[in-house]
């Protein structure tokens, strides 16, 4: 009876706009309902405008959230520009000349500061923008837990260490995700992000030209030569590092389950995509890939669950960090 009463009290508080926290999260739903009621609408509208202008922006915004959370946690450290002795994470190998969408975050932050000064964190903007970007391209929509605060520093070394490389082995991917508190199921679900967006030749040239790499990953099956020829026509063996190819040739601008169909056929663009199938010695990952390939709703549900889990990595709350006025710089 007491437990039921407590649940009813929590429900009543949430319906009246008070913060409601999950048992395993310091974040809350409806966090800005009183302090900045239009926050989520401002984010959604501006993400929609950006994605209409350039559909690729959806994948870019999702990627910003991922690259931020994997370095010191979801604290917007990724958005900081270099200043003084601090070197920006943007300059790290996995991010340099690769990440996009910063100007979209800048515009959203500007509008939020006009509406609710020093209220909505840059870290929360990244989380909301990723959610809205996925939904706008046909993917699932989930409730975003909010209340993150922004980091006072960046980690150039952390970005080089914890962002998975496009030629990572399965063992390396599992290790990196485990370091963030994410399991193998999260790894497979979140890898589905590669169902939209593009990658530079620099990211997958090894996958199509390196003989040892091909033998290790897929060429021992003597298959997929047509796909490899297509990639070679786009990316010559030397030069054109910044030429891009779609991560999913079937539906490159749509968030769907085609990524999993692709990797079952050996047609994942990045080496780190194909290892989910070809380096799985237990068969458990392949089972998960097969399940997602045949059931898009299952993939959507798993993805939403895993990205909410990812969005809770080492968050700053309460009096930790700050609410930046400009996402590129700490407050003076």
Does the CA dihedral 98-144-75-112 come out positive or negative?
Answer: positive
First to last CA, the chain: 52
Contacts of 103 (CB under 8 A, 6+ apart): none
Is-contact 140 304, C-beta < 8 A?
A: yes
Q: Of the listed 67, 194, 217, 258, which one is catalytic?
A: 67
217 as an active site residue: the answer is no
Strand partners, 327: none
SS (H, E, C) 54-109: CCCHHHHHHHHHHHHHCCCCCCCHHHCCCECCECCHHHCCCCCCCCCCHHHHHHHH
Rg (CA), the chain: 20
DSSP label at residue 149: B
Strand partners, 244: 200
Contacts of 210 (CB under 8 A, 6+ apart): none
Dist CA 37 CA 54 (whole Å): 28
Catalytic residue numbers, as ranges: 67
């Amino acid at each position: 009876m007491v437990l039921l009463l407590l649940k009813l009290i929590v429900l009543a508080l949430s319906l009246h706009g008070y913060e409601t926290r999950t048992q395993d999260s310091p974040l809350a739903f409806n966090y800005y309902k009183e302090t900045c009621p239009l926050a989520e609408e401002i984010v959604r509208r501006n993400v929609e405008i950006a994605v209409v202008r350039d559909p690729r922006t959806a994948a870019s915004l999702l990627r910003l959230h991922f690259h931020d959370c994997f370095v010191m946690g979801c604290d917007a450290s990724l958005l900081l520009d270099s200043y003084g002795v601090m070197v920006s994470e943007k300059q790290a190998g996995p991010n340099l000349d690769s990440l996009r969408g910063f100007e979209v975050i800048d515009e959203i932050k500007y509008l939020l500061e006009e509406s609710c000064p020093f209220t909505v964190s840059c870290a929360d903007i990244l989380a909301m923008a990723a959610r809205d970007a996925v939904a706008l391209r046909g993917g699932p929509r989930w409730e975003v837990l909010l209340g993150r605060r922004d980091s006072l520093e960046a980690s150039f070394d952390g970005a080089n260490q914890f962002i998975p490389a496009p030629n990572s082995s399965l063992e390396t991917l599992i290790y990196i995700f485990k370091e963030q508190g994410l399991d193998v199921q999260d790894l497979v679900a979140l890898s589905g992000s590669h169902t939209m967006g593009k990658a530079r030749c620099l990211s997958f040239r090894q996958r199509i030209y390196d003989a040892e790499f091909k033998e290790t990953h897929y060429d021992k099956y003597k298959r997929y030569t047509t796909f490899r020829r297509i990639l070679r026509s786009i990316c010559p063996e030397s030069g054109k590092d910044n030429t891009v190819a779609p991560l999913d040739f079937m539906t490159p601008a749509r968030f769907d389950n085609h990524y999993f169909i692709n990797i079952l056929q050996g047609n994942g663009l990045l080496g780190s995509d194909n290892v989910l199938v070809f380096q799985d010695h237990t068969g458990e990952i392949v089972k998960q890939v097969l399940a997602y390939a045949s059931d898009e709703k299952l993939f959507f549900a798993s993805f939403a669950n895993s990205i909410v889990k990812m969005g809770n990595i080492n968050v700053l709350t309460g009096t930790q960090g700050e609410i930046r006025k400009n996402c590129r710089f700490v407050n003076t």
